[in-house]
Structure 1
Amino acid sequence: MLVLGIETSCDETAAAVVEADPTPGTPVGRIRANAIYAQLSEHRPFGGVVPEIAARAHLERIDGMVARALADAGVGFADLDGVAATAGPGLIGGVIVGVMTAKAIALAHDKPFLAVNHLEGHALTTRLVEPVAFPFLLLLVSGGHCQLLAVQGVGRYRRLGTTIDDAVGEAFDKTAKLLGLGFPGGPAVERAARDGDPAKFDLPRPLWRKPGCDFSFSGLKTAVRLAAAGLPKDDPRAIADLAASFQRTVGDILVDRCRHAFDMFRTTCGLPPDTPVPLVVAGGVAANQHLRARLADVAASCGARLVAPPPALCTDNAAMIAWAGIERLRLGLVDGLDVAPRPRWPLDPAATAAIGRTGVGAGVKV
């Protein structure tokens, strides 16, 4: 089974071809091609992603990326078994570009179309590279999302906790900007933190040791801004210390929330208390090696193991979209060409409805 995947939800214009056994429930696939154009030069002058610029860049690049992916894979449109594209959530202009491109290919070549939730792409990525059985506990950490979910199967997600304000990746980006470390912020903070003292600054840990699995990062960002304003000018050591302290604090928060999530996960899935549980971490922030080490430790202390995709598959890419398309195609979950792109698309609609009623989480950014 061969599926073409297209990803255009933020600032990566990507196309990939993934191959897998057509049998449902068979994990692990083979990436035949994975072409990515990162729009760093377009957005770097602004210190962040500008939606209108991203959408125009996707429009200019997408045809060439699809052609490159097919050429790298050594296949043509006729060889495909399906065409998958991110249909949301994301910056709607970019999502529209990818969805319309995929629909056109599917229509012209009479192939099944698969509208993939970008978050499901991240959630299932580990199954592309190693056999991870359902159910598993997922920590999804990226520029727009910070969630803990019980993944019970393809399309079956129960949210255990989410951020009530900002995502952890957004906090990394804002910290990098405050410290003048450049864009993209996550890798820049991680590099600076290697030379810093993580105990130098005592930063707040919102919701730390509180019941539940929800996150909060707005107070931490404010504390970093105030600390950054008091740093000596042009002092790389002080900048490194603050970056290291911020990274350590984020690690403390993630470890605390995950520790609570293990018990909630076992209860949600009806598992005995001592059942071994995989902790899967996915999303762009999952590429951070310091945080991976912290999460591996908490998983081991809870009788679990940490599973993470290779760093190259943590950030946005089309291979994960193609793989999610394969997982859905094997179950017959094909979409019509009337599917509309969505700027917001929760993995667990029931949890979103509950949050909407309470008003909590209204500020979460896509």
Structure 2
Amino acid sequence: MALRVNKAVQRLAPYVTPAQDPWRSVHRRDICKLDWNEGKGVSARVRRLAQQLIQDDATFNWYPDCEAIDLTRVIARHVGVPESYVLTFPGSDVGLETACRTFMEAGDRVLIPVPNYDNFRVYAQSVGCEVVPWQVGRPFRFDIGSVREAVRQHRATAIYISNPNNPCGYAVGRPDIIDLCAEFPEVAFVVDEAYIDFCPEHSCAADVARRDNLIVSRTFSKAFGLAGLRLGFVVSAAGNIRNLQKLRNGKNISRLAQELGQLLIGSYDEVRNWVANVAAARDYLTLELTRRGANVFPSAANFLLVEMKGAKEVTAGLKRYGVYVRDRSQMIPDCLRISITDLADGRRLIEALDRYRSDSSLSA
């Protein structure tokens, strides 16, 4: 007999991940992977430290530091908050999921501006929340007046904001978020800053000391390039952190992730250099795609939302040339999303797009 399934899970539509074809390919190193917004490689210093840690047979069999004390200290200094305001997780997704399990329950109404990162919707619905999608129309801007109206109209108990927004790329101004937190002190504001290193002026992480209804998540998967090691953190008022701690499993953050996280924050100038390279590649791709008739939406992150005819077919066609992008046409008609890494990958994408169009016209 089948096991009884939680009613909220029975009703749940799962988050849909991109195709995992690159992991199945024997030519993995030749793939231009622009579908999941990962950072571009790691430095030689990071690789050397990883090798040293793996070869350390004296402590390799130990559980990691469950409190991640050294990493927490470095993160707190980097963000500009006390250590008691920081809690580390094996990826920011786990931090977001834990926030839902800690601060939300059945019957709560969670407002999510859409299009948006869909995993948070899954986490909220899994604990029985009613998710209220609030449509952000083109050209995709965060209008604070409309948000105020939506919070009041739907009597929202929480709102999720990805900043910059994924998949659209627009950034939400820090003053707007802080004003909303002040105006609706009974509403939990969950701000996902996965891409904030590309526009740090919009971060509200340092404001958690003044707004105890503000929860900010960060990741090492994007600008830091550690997506495969799963490391992230949450910044919030000390009382919120203590409650999150009740559900956190500290053993889940490997020693390798903790040590590399410290190294990367300590060498943040390297991250800034890569962010500058991303900005240059973003400008190049915006120009070249526009020249080819695409509508490119402005972005503050390491990706572009691109509107072009036959986006789904283009996504599939580019794979033939070893280039992977993300089809977003089910969420936004005729749109795909392109991760930005550097100029070399940008040029390879344009070359593949031109070849795809040329080959398609010949076979028509």
**Normalising by the residue count of structure 2, what TM-score does the alignment of the two structures yield?**
0.32
**Normalising by the residue count of structure 1, what TM-score does the alignment of the two structures yield?**
0.32
